[in-house]
A = this chain, B = another copy of it.
């Protein structure tokens, strides 16, 4: 799952950078940032040297995603908008949220810390990539995307608090994240704005 996620995230990030007409260095940076900046932020927050700097295999998977984006760009309008990419991305979201929750529990963080690190691990890379592309992170105003990682991280914490073993908690986190993400994709879920909330509750 982690491998699928790294390739999918790098492909999605690189495709965005190609569309913004970044050069191939920029395309590679945005792709690798999308795949690795969430995990690197997690590592920095918990005081570790980012794994991505040390793990040649993971970097190779990220570079594979970058190459796929460049090659597919010649054939498809938007390789990052195909169903297969969206589902691979959902798998990555689940894998990265779970990886974050595991590390957060390991260092003894409480509920908020677990959910925060799971979410940052899952969506921090994409958010940072959007900043490099000079736009607000899309997770903050559209789609139902980061919320899946919030729910997954909450599930991990809940199962741990109920003394479930770590494998079961990880399975719950991954299932909730990927499950809510697939539902969000197929049903077009969004998170309401304060404006809409007030229009609904106020009158």
Contacts and interface: CB of A to CB of B under 8 A. Distances in A.
Contacts of A159: none
A73 B40 CA distance: 36
Interface string A75-111: 0000000000000000000000000000010010111
B49 A45 contact: yes
Copies in the complex: 3
Interface of A: 17-18, 20-27, 29-30, 40, 44-50, 53-54, 56, 59, 69-70, 73-74, 104, 107, 109-113, 116-117, 127, 131-137, 139-142, 146-147, 150, 190-195, 197-198, 202
28 contacts: A18-B194, A18-B195, A21-B141, A21-B195, A22-B136, A23-B191, A23-B192, A24-B191, A25-B139, A25-B140, A25-B146, A25-B150, A25-B191, A26-B191, A27-B193, A27-B194, A44-B45, A45-B49, A47-B47, A49-B109, A53-B112, A53-B113, A53-B116, A53-B117, A54-B109, A56-B110, A59-B112, A133-B136
Which 9 A-B residue pairings sit nearest by Cβ, starting from the closest? A26-B140, A53-B113, A23-B191, A134-B136, A22-B141, A18-B194, A74-B198, A59-B112, A25-B191
